[in-house]
Amino acid sequence: MDDPITPAEADAIIASSLWQPATDRVSLVEAVGRTLTRAIHADRDLPPYARAMMDGVAFSSSSPPHWIQGLHAAGDPPPTALSAEHAWEIMTGACVPADCDTVVPYEDITLEPQGEELQILQILETYEPGQYIHPTGSDALSGEVLVPADRIIGPAEIAIAASVGLTELEVAARPRIALISSGDEAIPVADHPQPWQIRRSNGPMLEALLRRASHVPRLVRHVPDDADVARDDLHDALAQSDLVILCGGISKGKRDLIRPLLEEKLGPPAFHGVFQRPGKPLAFWSGPPLVFALPGNPVSVLATFTRYVLPALSQLEGSDLQVPTRPSPPELQPLPHLTWLLALDAAGNPLPPRNSGDFVSISGAAGFLEVPPAPDCTDRLHLRFFSCSPS
């Protein structure tokens, strides 16, 4: 399709090209950042025993204590019965014996040695039965869902999985990703540029965006504006990947050869051109593999990756990205006929670049506000905000 389309039309085409992810099994710590596909259940009550929450003494409130019977530490099995007017010294994390209903921390008692036994001289504070005891099953009961499927796995979910004995987790399979930047003027970062050259910044930016979303591309290349040289790399990428992300060489220039090279293998794009700024020359092929060809200007790369590629990646992993809304910054003038992808910093301040090559101006960008074109932009309170690093 060669006529530009709206962002909503582009979304619909992309959504209809996505597939349900297969599943992988990965070790616990490797699961961070992945999407869970099988819910995690409690294998027993949580906590599994009444847990002492303070280092101190445990006793029965019906028999206020004067004497220490012994030490009951974390990891010890339940001790013998407690004698009248006695207490156990108890450590945080120990199981509270069944005949105790109160824990008082060391700070609230005084202990004085007397012969072989320790005498409790005084409990300094009033206490309530049940205090500093984390009751059995008060967090969750055996069999309860602790983490639903579809949840992105973070450190807390890893802890929960470990606590119920899972050494591996079932997660959505990751797409195999290839990243290809292009352009004769863009030289390796470590090389010394001639005055008419620039260093390649789009590739590292895209790789950083992917890595922050917990994706590591399998193939990363830069191709020159020469079809015969670029063809092999492009065809390799298509053959080895589920998702190919390209940047540059997709506009109307005489040496913009990305589209013709992709067409050799994939035919015409599903769309080429979206009514938006930046990023109007965005092109997309449904594949397989899915191909996003992002316009080469650095601000366009960041905006179109954030607005289109990140949400598609989330859906490919079985998690539906929630796009929050924000009110428009004051005095914002929507663009005529074009949706505006406006960079905002973490505090919500606009970072309007002078043009989409001006990537210095978007340092600190946290995401992009989608401002519909004038005159359709009627709801200024609920503009969608696409985060550069959704979690």
Ligand X SMILES: Nc1nc2c(c(=O)[nH]1)N[C@H]1C(S)=C(S)[C@@H](COP(=O)(O)OP(=O)(O)OC[C@H]3O[C@@H](n4cnc5c(N)ncnc54)[C@H](O)[C@@H]3O)O[C@H]1N2
- Selected binder of ligand MOO within 249, 278, 318, 390 (CB under 6 A): 278
- The DSSP secondary-structure symbol of 194 reads P
Q: Candidates 200, 259, 272, 277: give the one binding ligand MOO (CB under 6 A).
A: 277
Query: ω before 21 within 30° of 0 (cis)?
Result: no
- 354 to 373: interface string for ligand MOO, x by CB under 6 A: --x-----------------
**CB nearer ligand MOO, residue 190 or residue 360:** 360
Residue 295 in the binding site for ligand MOO (CB under 6 A):
yes
Is position 297 an interface residue for ligand MOO (rule: CB under 6 A)? Answer: yes
Query: Binder to ligand MOO among 203, 269, 279, 390 (CB under 6 A)?
Result: 279
- Residue closer to ligand X (CB basis): 59 or 292: 292
Looking up tokens 């995401």, which residue turns up? 367
Binding stretches for ligand X (CB under 6 A): 181, 183, 185-186, 198, 200-203, 248-253, 256, 278, 280-281, 295-298, 300, 356-357
Type of residue at 37? T
Task: State the first-to-last Cα distance of the chain, in angstroms, to the nearest integer.
Answer: 33
Cα 201 to Cα 47, 189, 208, 281: the distances in Å are 50, 8, 11, 19
Task: Find residue 178's DSSP bridge partners.
Answer: 219, 244
Residue 324's CB: how many other CB atoms inside 10 A? 12
Contact criterion met (CB below 8 Å) for 186 and 224: no
Binding flags for ligand MOO, 28-57, as an x/- string (CB under 6 A) = ------------------------------
DSSP state of 295: -
Measured CA to CA, the distance from residue 156 to residue 42 in angstroms comes to 15
User: 163 vs 98, 207, 225, CA distance in Å?
Assistant: 23, 34, 54
Whichever of 252 and 254 has its CB closer to ligand MOO, that residue is 252
Min CB(205)–ligand MOO separation in Å: 14
Determine which residue in the list 86, 200, 259, 280 makes contact with ligand MOO, applying CB under 6 A.
Answer: 280
Residues that bind ligand MOO (CB under 6 A): 277-281, 295, 297, 300, 356
